[in-house]
């Protein structure tokens, strides 16, 4: 899968053009996910220092070998165990001599930033809330191939698991079985702690599976995803346990309709908030909008939740290559919750749903 290579040079080029516009001599990247995106290094505890022509990774001895394998083109400074990472970064920056520096204000700790300011009193520090994230928001072909693989892996594991659902099992056991199935089908791991929620417990959008048998429940809410090569998928389905009640059928139909209208709104040039309002308006027609207590969706990629965020007030313009979820839900306290979630890719025409899995599913057993 994904025979293409990541466009590493293109990514660095975009960041350097940004630095030029902001008149930055250097940029300090400490978030592991952003270091990975820029360099290919999959470890942690490592900073990438990027200048307009120079670049340096500051890491430690645990990673010497891995750095040589994963990013052979990047010069590395390996700090001794006695030297704290942030002090090694400060010394490297003193040596590089950059004066106007960008840093990840949403990722660096206050203690780290104070330390850097203290050690480089001459430098001007420019907070950057989302420099690398702004580049990551549009996926290249390499990333899209791996996200597709993550979606397909999640689907295959789910279908196998669905054939084995026993009503005597507990929510926790079912979630554990699904996680095992994900790994067996090639996932590195689950994208997040899997949600299997039955009965009124499904009214909690982020329900934690309980050691409670699902036998008496009318339906199960299952939210799961796979990580493949660092890329995430995230799907939610409702499993009908026996005959569907009129109320459940009605709520599910409205949630499905909201999802459909979200899909119609997701196209290049639309704002992220337009998708959210299409979904929210649909649920309002049924009087269910007050039970929809979260955003409509979130970007997917190297992180499970990343830009773009589809919420009221988020006016990011959608572009081809963006990948995100659309996940309307109705959570009625004392009754239960219904959510349907799809992963979608914005195309030049509109959008493409990456999952093939039916939304009208029945549990066996
Ligand atoms: Zn989800
Ligand atoms: Zn989600």
* pLDDT values of the chain reduced to their tens digit, one per residue, 365 residues: 544 678 888 999 999 999 999 999 999 999 999 999 999 999 999 999 999 999 999 999 999 999 999 999 999 999 999 999 999 999 999 999 999 999 999 999 999 999 999 999 999 999 998 999 999 999 999 999 999 999 999 999 999 999 988 889 999 999 999 999 999 999 999 999 999 999 999 999 999 999 999 988 999 999 999 999 999 999 999 999 888 899 999 999 999 999 999 999 999 999 999 999 999 999 999 999 999 999 999 999 999 999 999 999 999 999 999 999 999 999 999 999 999 999 999 999 999 999 999 988 888 65
Q: How far apart are CA 50 and CA 75, in angstroms?
A: 11
Domain end marker among 103, 136, 169:
136
| One domain for residues 99 and 156 | no
Going from the Cα of 42 to the center of ligand 2, the distance in angstroms, rounded, reads 24
Q: How far apart are CA 354 and CA 155, in angstroms?
A: 10
260, containing H or E segment: helix 246-265
Going from the Cα of 233 to the center of ligand 1, the distance in angstroms, rounded, reads 8
Q: How many structural domains compose the chain?
A: 2
| One domain for residues 171 and 25 | no
Does 2 reside within a domain? no
pLDDT at 166: 86
Does 1 reside within a domain? no
Going from the Cα of 223 to the center of ligand 1, the distance in angstroms, rounded, reads 5
pTM: 0.95
| One domain for residues 347 and 202 | yes
**What token pair was written down for 229?**
């090569």
Give residue for tokens 């939304």.
359
| One domain for residues 350 and 208 | yes
Going from the Cα of 106 to the center of ligand 1, the distance in angstroms, rounded, reads 24
300 is in which domain, residue-wise?
141-362
Going from the Cα of 296 to the center of ligand 2, the distance in angstroms, rounded, reads 9
**Cβ atoms 233, 155 nearer than 8 A:** no
Strand partners, 90: none
Domain end marker among 136, 158, 179:
136
| One domain for residues 150 and 100 | no
| One domain for residues 192 and 336 | yes
- Domain containing residue 30: CATH number: 3.40.350.10
**Cβ atoms 363, 160 nearer than 8 A:** no
Going from the Cα of 65 to the center of ligand 1, the distance in angstroms, rounded, reads 36
């Amino acid at each position: 899968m994904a025979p293409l290579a990541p466009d590493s040079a293109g990514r660095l080029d975009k960041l350097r053009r940004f630095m030029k516009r902001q008149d930055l001599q250097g940029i300090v990247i400490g978030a592991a996910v952003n270091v990975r995106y820029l360099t290919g290094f999959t470890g942690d505890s490592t900073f990438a220092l990027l200048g307009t022509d120079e670049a340096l990774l500051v890491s430690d001895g645990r990673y010497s070998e891995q750095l040589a394998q994963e990013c052979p083109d990047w010069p590395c400074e390996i700090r001794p165990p006695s030297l704290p990472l942030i002090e090694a970064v400060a010394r490297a920056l003193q040596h590089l001599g950059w004066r106007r520096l960008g840093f990840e204000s949403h990722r660096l700790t206050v203690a780290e930033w104070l330390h850097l300011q203290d050690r480089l009193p001459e430098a001007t520090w420019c907070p950057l809330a989302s420099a690398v994230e702004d580049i990551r928001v549009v996926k290249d072909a390499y990333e899209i191939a791996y996200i597709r693989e993550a979606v397909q892996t999640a689907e295959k594991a789910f279908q196998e698991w669905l054939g084995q659902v026993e009503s005597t099992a507990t929510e926790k056991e079912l979630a554990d079985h699904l996680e095992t199935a994900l790994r067996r089908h090639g996932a590195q791991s689950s994208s997040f702690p899997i949600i299997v929620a039955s009965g009124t417990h499904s009214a909690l959008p982020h329900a934690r599976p309980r050691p409670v048998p699902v036998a008496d429940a009318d339906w199960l809410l299952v939210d799961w995803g796979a990580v493949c090569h660092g890329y995430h998928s995230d799907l939610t389905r409702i499993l009908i346990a026996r005959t569907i009640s009129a109320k459940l059928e009605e709520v599910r139909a409205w949630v499905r309709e909201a999802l459909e209208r979200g899909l119609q709104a997701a196209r290049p040039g639309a704002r992220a908030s337009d998708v959210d309002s299409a979904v929210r308006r649909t649920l309002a027609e049924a009087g269910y909008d007050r039970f929809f207590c979260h955003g409509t969706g979130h970007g997917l990629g190297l992180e499970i939740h990343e830009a773009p965020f589809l919420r009221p007030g988020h006016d990011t313009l959608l572009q081809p290559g963006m990948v995100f979820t659309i996940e309307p839900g109705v959570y009625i306290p004392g009754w239960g919750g219904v959510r349907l979630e799809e992963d979608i890719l914005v195309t030049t025409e509109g959008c493409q749903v990456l999952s093939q899995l039916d939304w009208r599913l029945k549990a066996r057993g």
